[in-house]
Structure 1
Amino acid sequence: MILDGRPVASGAGSAAGRRNPSPRPDAVKEKGKTRSSRLPRPVLDNAPGDVILPIARRPCAGGSGPERALCAQMPATAFRLQTGGKMKTSALLVLALAASFALATIPVAARSDLDAPTAELLREADIPRLAPELETVLDAAEPDDLIDVIVHTRRQANLDALPPGTGYGGKLAHLQDVAELAQRDILAWLATTDARNVRSFWLVSRIALAATPAVIRTLAARDDIAYIFDDFVVTIDYRASEGEPLPPVDLQEWNITKVRAPECWSAGFNGAGIVVGNIDTGVQTSHPAFGGRWRSSNGWYDAVNGQSSPYDDNGHGTHCMGSTVGGNGIGVAPGATFIAAKALAANGSGNSSWFVACFDWMAGTGRPDILSNSWGSDRTSTYWFNYVNNLRSLGIIIVGAIGNSGPGGSTSMPPGSYPNVIGVGATTSTDAIASFSSRGPAPNQAPWNDSGWWPRPDWNLINPGISAPGQNIRSAVPGGGYYNLDGTSMAAPHVAGAAAILLQKDATLTHDQVFNLFADHAARPSGGAPYPNINYGWGRLDCKTALDNVGGGGGEEETLKVHYTYEENAVGLEDGGTFHSATRLTPTRDCDVVAGIFLQHEASQNQHYFVWRGNNATTPGPVVESIPYTGAGTGWKRLDLAQPFRVNANADVWLGPRFTHTAGQFPGGVDGGPAVPQRGGWVNLDGTWEELREYGLAFNWMIAAIVRYSGAVEEELLEPVPDLPAINTPTLAPGPGRVEYTLPGPGRIDLGVHDATGRLVRTLARGPMPAGRHTTTWDQTDDHGRPVASGTYFYRLTAEGKTLTAKAVVLN
């Protein structure tokens, strides 16, 4: 077992006679998971043609694509026309050079079939098709050297162009069909060359192969090629904490408690039913910490050695997966299922083509809900962007470590630095940002600075998005043991596990919704303020608070109200006597608490209700409102005040029933609404109580208090219930929607529309408002004027420190 993660000097797995650029220790860092399914292709072994037209460099033109900087750094290419290995000086050389200049560059305007990220790379300029690092290798290579490269085809699939509602299978078929069409002629041409080990990939249409410098340069001149990379090496970077291997323990690790995962388990959410994948060094699936949660069907892929059974000959992948789904107190989501793909060899390094194969397997065969990536590379910074984007289009949540190159700024690395990845930094047990954790901001270039890729309007190059424990993290290692490791490699699995918990509660959550739940509800250590920032992102992961802000899942939201009659508070009243009846309720859920007086009556009686203003007087105040009622039968009568009024904090509002009847008893009732006794206690006529004195009736009768509520617990005394503004609960159809609200007095308000994750979508009103009823409209657009998607939204009204919400369903 290897736990040091040291970089190697050359690409693992290269055949004799091939050349791979040596990996730079500072060039490749960390992150983690993926799956892929590749289309098998035969090995091609054919002789080259007699005449080879080499690629020539064309001077860089303008443009703002992310590869513009690469153009300026590319060395000049020597032009050679090879025929039988000898240099020819003739008119043919002139023709060859002219053809080379014409074929080596691609006018973007004529290439409407390019996917968006590829077009971005080539926008407004004729970009050289060979990566600078590959140019260096080719210049130093012998003519018969075989060099491993990856070809990115001109034609690429665009999943966003598919009809709405296209399912997972339809998207996979489209990706594979486009790749087959894009690669058909290229593969046919390669069959006529000495190219070896040709492999076709489809999640992003690319071809991996080994070929001589001449074949590679000629390949780059084809019009159906976008660009060619060397098959560079990715090396993980992490640190083993000092000390011996650790024994198993039954206690929860500090990092698991820190992110409040156990509180989620107590609430019934541990990731059950969710599949998490990682691309790493492999996983020892038989480790006791995993408890049989590895999905044995389509749950393993080995791009390094081709073994059919899971294993981990390094330890990094097992440790990362333990922090995600491990039991024995080491994992955030111990109820989740996991799968794994191996792209890193025993020495912690792997060719980029191995990662490409794993991505295909994850998309086509593994199909996880979440993909955690504890690896990364600063080579060819947009190299992984299309993979991430297509996996997200398939509905997979992508989590990535941002690297261990801190504390300097602008050190975060892809794929964790991409705006379409939940990038994760590392914190310590004291909530300090780890010194080694890479920092933002992300590069100020496409696609990072294109707001169309941002998960929220204020992302704006802030990286990481969230931080999580990543120092002195105890987790599983091969052999059944445990070990402490440091790195953002250790932090990202915590976020992947937290995402599994959120998806268990609501499987319809999108990638951006999960990101915003973590960002909006993160813990924010005081030492890192203000937030967000390029050290912590939006804060440190708080799994429980994020979970509490997840709705109940898709579909319409319904409210169940339970009506409870509290009969034990009934009192008897003698002629001319007084009474005071009270109950204290403490709501533990969102609820309506309505206290009132329930009276009996029959037909042929007159009733009259009064509401008095209370000012801590010894007698009731003046009548505020009254309604006459002559009843025949049973029913409810509600008393609405024309002009609501405020009451002192310790005062009572008194509801007085007066009856005139002709015969018998009479049932009936009144819903007290806000006009109810709100502080209780027996009236002491001779003491110093400032309670409202209430006058008796002329008859013997029974009275009982009724309370209608949802989710309340009973205590002994009634406390004053403050006046609250009222807000209606609309259901919106296409077109403007209206919301009405009533304020009991003047004050500042904040009225906005929020989506199901709690994120503010539109501000409708903010500032001082007079008392009374108010109406405003929402045209179903966000603060940027863009129409919102169909779904459930919530009006949230805050006034004088009180908050009410109302649901709105948008059907576009």
Structure 2
Amino acid sequence: MANGFTDRRVFGGPPDRPSGSVTGPGTEYTGRYVVLLDPSDQESGLNALRSSAGIASVERVRGAEAANAAELLERPDVSVHFEELGAAVVEVRPDQRHTLVTTAEAEPSIIAAEPERMVYAMPITAPQQAPTEFFPAYRSDEDVVACHTRTEIAAAQGPASDEQSFTWGLQAIRANLTDLTGRGVKVAVLDTGVDTTHPDLVRCVEGTMSFVVGEAVEDGHGHGTHCVGTVAGPKNPQQAPRYGVACDARILVGKVLSNQGSGADGQILAGMAWAIAQGARVISLSLGAPVGPGELFPQTYEILARRALERGTVIVAAAGNDSNRPPSILPVSRPANCPSIIAVAALDKSITPSFFSNGGINGQGGEINIAAPGRDVRSAAPGGGYQTMSGTSMATPHVAGVLALLAEANSNASAADLVASLKSGAFPLTQPVRDVGAGLLQAP
């Protein structure tokens, strides 16, 4: 999580932009607004919107009772209030959007109002490349080498070609060497759902909820199942090698992206509210939307991430796959670009940044915080099988799994404590902090 956040009120967006329009590459708006309310005075903000911005019907959703959230978010005549988050997704006529923004600016109980955007799953189809030697480019600083020498780690992890027992990713982060399993720790994976009948995953899935109208939590895409498997695939899968970081973690699966891999901010917020209410210690978001150079992080997600931290929940998100290294490095995607959300970069087997992995070229939240295996990652697939995928989406659940291990190791740790332990435990790399943050993720 980056520093530099200033708690200021932010309002704006395209008040006259039609629903579904696009401004710039990858910027797709739904026509609705996400409004952040003062948690101690939510009704004043809602009443101001009702009286001046034409917001007629507001339906209240409590996180633990979110079964109807998907249907409500699809209704054009309804605005949805997520009471526990202090947030609302507001339907407003095009001719009222300017009024909504000016009302929000004048009403003290409204903290922020921003246009709702579309978000997407972020796997990539990586081109084939020649096999690379598994030999991390660690720093040679004497104090670092005293703790973990290259020789020690190489000997402990084995070569990348030896994946008979553990995937290269688990070896790289030393998950194959820890006795921790994430036992009893709840991790929410908000994604395209999960194959609830996969023999490897049946045992770890504790709760499910779909926030996509007309689609059950069953994963028709594959992205969500892969991410769930990386977080908590079993110690002894049906088919080796082992690929799950925290094999005894309890997984909450929120389907916030459709089987086509897309969703909107409102669905993400609904999933976050549900996950926090269910006691998730970690929320894993392998999703996002691109931002432009110099673009500020979304204030709504930042405030919600801070509120989540206060309640003991850490949010981790994919940095995005828009780059084409070395010539083109693009900014960390939203919502990973929020200062209070952990932004995860992807690494190849050579422990160098994957060509597609975005970089920390935007300040004030747009930094990379940590790097994890994200290229050629094997995990579960719908239908009871397995598949190899690449992307910062694949790196993110590695981090979520390690956070579960840290939470198991110290059940009394605050969310801030978990983040500090995660970053301080990372192994420094020779690549720029812009690309790898604190360094290579390491299991405790």
Check conservation: 1:241, 1:486, Cα contact below 8 A: yes
Select the residue among 394, 400, 407 that pairs with 2:317: 400
Name the counterpart of 2:287. Answer: 375
Change (3 A) 1:357 1:538: same
Name the counterpart of 1:510. Answer: 414
Select the residue among 424, 433, 441 that pairs with 1:533: 433
The answer as to 2:301 corresponding to 1:384 is yes
Counterparts of 1:738-749 in structure 2 under 5 Å? none
> How much has 1:489 moved relative to structure 2?
0.4
Name the counterpart of 1:208. Answer: 89
Amino acid aligned to 1:300: T
> How much has 1:500 moved relative to structure 2?
0.9
Unaligned runs of 5+ in 1: 1-64, 67-115, 123-128, 141-146, 158-173, 244-248, 449-460, 548-812
Check conservation: 1:254, 1:429, Cα contact below 8 A: yes
The answer as to 2:232 corresponding to 1:325 is yes
Q: Secondary structure of 1:384's match?
A: helix
> How much has 1:306 moved relative to structure 2?
6.0
Counterparts of 1:659-698 in structure 2 under 5 Å? none
Unaligned runs of 5+ in 2: 22-29, 59-74, 129-162
Select the residue among 488, 498, 522 that pairs with 2:392: 488
Counterparts of 1:426-465 in structure 2 under 5 Å? 426-444=346-364, 448=365, 463-465=367-369
Amino acid aligned to 2:91: A
Quick one: distance in 2 between partners of 1:413 and 1:481? 30
Q: Secondary structure of 1:301's match?
A: strand
Change (3 A) 1:201 1:272: same
Q: What's the CA shift string for 1:92-145, capped at 9, x where partnerless?
A: xxxxxxxxxxxxxxxxxxxxxxxx73xx145xxxxxx5403x43338x9xxxxx
Amino acid aligned to 2:165: L
Quick one: distance in 2 between partners of 1:242 and 1:281? 24
Name the counterpart of 1:310. Answer: 217
Name the counterpart of 1:520. Answer: 424
Name the counterpart of 2:13. Answer: 131
Quick one: distance in 1 between partners of 2:331 and 2:113? 26
Quick one: distance in 1 between partners of 2:57 and 2:346? 50
Check conservation: 1:293, 1:338, Cα contact below 8 A: yes
Counterparts of 1:72-87 in structure 2 under 5 Å? none
Quick one: distance in 2 between partners of 1:150 and 1:203? 18
Q: Secondary structure of 1:494's match?
A: helix
Name the counterpart of 1:259. Answer: 173
> How much has 1:220 moved relative to structure 2?
3.5
Q: Secondary structure of 1:149's match?
A: strand
Q: Secondary structure of 2:288's match?
A: strand
Quick one: distance in 2 between partners of 1:418 and 1:229? 14
Q: Secondary structure of 1:362's match?
A: helix
Select the residue among 31, 43, 67 that pairs with 1:180: 43
* Alignment TM-score, normalising by the size of structure 1: 0.42
Check conservation: 2:57, 2:77, Cα contact below 8 A: no
Amino acid aligned to 1:343: V
Quick one: distance in 2 between partners of 1:514 and 1:409? 29
Name the counterpart of 1:414. Answer: 334
Q: Percent same amino acid at aligned positions? A: 26
Check conservation: 2:76, 2:91, Cα contact below 8 A: yes
Q: What's the CA shift string for 1:777-797, capped at 9, x where partnerless?
A: xxxxxxxxxxxxxxxxxxxxx
Change (3 A) 1:517 1:191: closer
Change (3 A) 1:285 1:241: farther
Quick one: distance in 2 between partners of 1:372 and 1:318? 13
Change (3 A) 1:387 1:287: same
Greater gyration radius: 1
User: When the two structures are aligned, how many residues end up with a matched partner?
Assistant: 364
Name the counterpart of 2:77. Answer: 196
> How much has 1:197 moved relative to structure 2?
2.5
Q: CA RMSD in A?
A: 3.1
Quick one: distance in 1 between partners of 2:57 and 2:248? 52
Select the residue among 183, 189, 192 that pairs with 1:272: 183
Q: Secondary structure of 2:177's match?
A: helix
Change (3 A) 1:414 1:347: same
Quick one: distance in 1 between partners of 2:363 and 2:233? 35
Check conservation: 1:253, 1:474, Cα contact below 8 A: yes
Quick one: distance in 1 between partners of 2:111 and 2:369? 32
Select the residue among 121, 133, 156 that pairs with 2:38: 156
Q: Secondary structure of 1:278's match?
A: strand
Quick one: distance in 1 between partners of 2:57 and 2:337? 40
> How much has 1:337 moved relative to structure 2?
0.9
Quick one: distance in 1 between partners of 2:390 and 2:303? 29
Change (3 A) 1:292 1:218: same
Q: What's the CA shift string for 1:295-351, capped at 9, x where partnerless?
A: 1xxx222111266x6311211111111111012201111111101111111111112
Check conservation: 1:283, 1:312, Cα contact below 8 A: yes
Quick one: distance in 2 between partners of 1:250 and 1:183? 57
Amino acid aligned to 1:315: G
Name the counterpart of 1:753. Answer: none
Quick one: distance in 2 between partners of 1:400 and 1:303? 19
Change (3 A) 1:250 1:368: farther
> How much has 1:415 moved relative to structure 2?
2.4
The answer as to 2:373 corresponding to 1:469 is yes
The answer as to 2:405 corresponding to 1:501 is yes
Q: Secondary structure of 2:308's match?
A: helix
Check conservation: 1:282, 1:318, Cα contact below 8 A: yes
Quick one: distance in 2 between partners of 1:395 and 1:226? 22
Change (3 A) 1:302 1:520: same
Q: Secondary structure of 1:200's match?
A: strand
Quick one: distance in 2 between partners of 1:510 and 1:240? 37
Q: What's the CA shift string for 1:146-200, capped at 9, x where partnerless?
A: x7312525x513xxxxxxxxxxxxxxxx5xxx33343134346533999712222
Check conservation: 1:131, 1:227, Cα contact below 8 A: no
Q: Secondary structure of 2:435's match?
A: coil
Counterparts of 1:22-61 in structure 2 under 5 Å? none
Check conservation: 2:379, 2:387, Cα contact below 8 A: yes
Change (3 A) 1:213 1:319: same
* Alignment TM-score, normalising by the size of structure 2: 0.74
Determine which structure has the larger helix proportion and give its number. 2
Quick one: distance in 1 between partners of 2:250 and 2:385? 21
> How much has 1:228 moved relative to structure 2?
4.4
> How much has 1:423 moved relative to structure 2?
1.7
Amino acid aligned to 2:410: D
Quick one: distance in 2 between partners of 1:504 and 1:363? 18
Quick one: distance in 2 between partners of 1:399 and 1:229? 22
Q: What's the CA shift string for 1:378-415, capped at 9, x where partnerless?
A: 45732411111111110012211111123344611232
Check conservation: 1:240, 1:484, Cα contact below 8 A: no
Determine which structure has the larger strand proportion and give its number. 1
Q: What's the CA shift string for 1:210-244, capped at 9, x where partnerless?
A: 3432233343343436664433211222124579x
